[in-house]
Homo-oligomer: A and B are copies of this chain.
Amino acid sequence: MNAERNNAARTARVTVRAVEGIGEIRPGDDLVQLIWDAVREPGMAEGDILVVTSKIVSKAEGRIVHASDREQAITDETVRLVASRAHENGVTRIVENRLGMVAAAAGVDASNTPEGTVLLLPHDPDATAQQLAKGLRELSGVAIGVLISDTLGRPWREGQTDVAIGAAGVHVIDDLRGGTDAAGRPLTVTMACTADELAAAGDLVKGKTSGCPVAIVSGLRHAVGSLDLPGASSLVRIGDRDMFRLGTDEAIELGRSEGHAEGFSVGYAAGMAAAQASGVNKPA
């Protein structure tokens, strides 16, 4: 399967277009129907991939809470604290959330929401992507893929990029490890994260301010496949393979605490021995 995709000629042209006409989303809205209404003219082609901003999924799911409950909402969405830092406007908390994303404020979002509210991430973005892909495949009659995207910061680089937090019918990773490069040598490490690159491409036309929540990427038919393909949750790397499970300050503090206890034991014994060995401390 991978070899087949690797050997296929790469697409020479990809088009990313913004889907116009999707209005403000309210709790309970039927996203399949709303998106279909917006894309049915001129329609979708086999192999098109829809990139759907997570925000409208959250809104349809009614994942809206009062801004005054923001800190509690972040805590509720948090599995564990990865790193935190105090600054003049408060404390930035980088946490792992229940979706396995490592994100500032657990992904709780205060932009593009009604005044006085914040938005939680969707309940289960992979499941939503499945529903959307299934529904839109039925309505359109063509095999399309769906990604749910969210905006994420990164260590060591300024700014944020969009990544995929939900996926259905898309090869989220283009696993080149079985392939060879142009010189015929094995590509031993390369696993291109197609889903995140698609989400990033979608953001170029969706933007953050335009209120345009869906993009369609055309021209990557080889990236679309069965609805049984792994979702975006397969992109999460936490646990044993995670070399950055704590921020540096947090890890140093953990090590210091452990080291202090060890050092105390060793030092205590050494101090006692030294006292006993010194003349003034000889037993009477």
Contact = CB atoms under 8 A, between A and B. Distances in A.
Contacts of A11: 18, 204-205
Interface residues of A, number: 118
Nearest to A194: B204
Interface in A175-214: 176, 179-183, 185, 187-194, 196-198, 200-201, 203-212
A1 interface: no
Given A157-B237, A261-B263, A244 B242 contact: no
A179 to B, nearest CB: 6
A255 interface: yes
Interface in A261-284: 261-276, 280-284
Nearest to A84: B243
A194 to B, nearest CB: 7
A33 interface: no
B209 A6 contact: yes
A124 interface: no
B204 A85 contact: no
Interface stretch (A68-76, A106-114, A128-136): A106-114
Interface stretch (A36-44, A139-147, A246-254): A246-254
A127 interface: no
Contacts of A100: 156
A156 B239 CA distance: 9
A112 B237 contact: no
A236 to B, nearest CB: 7
B208 A190 contact: yes
A102 B182 CA distance: 26
Contacts of A245: 248
Interface of A: 6, 9-18, 20, 83, 85, 94, 96, 100-102, 104, 110-115, 151, 154-163, 172-174, 176, 179-183, 185, 187-194, 196-198, 200-201, 203-212, 217, 219-220, 234-238, 242-276, 280-284
9 contacts: A13-B16, A101-B156, A115-B185, A151-B190, A161-B193, A161-B197, A201-B201, A259-B263, A275-B281
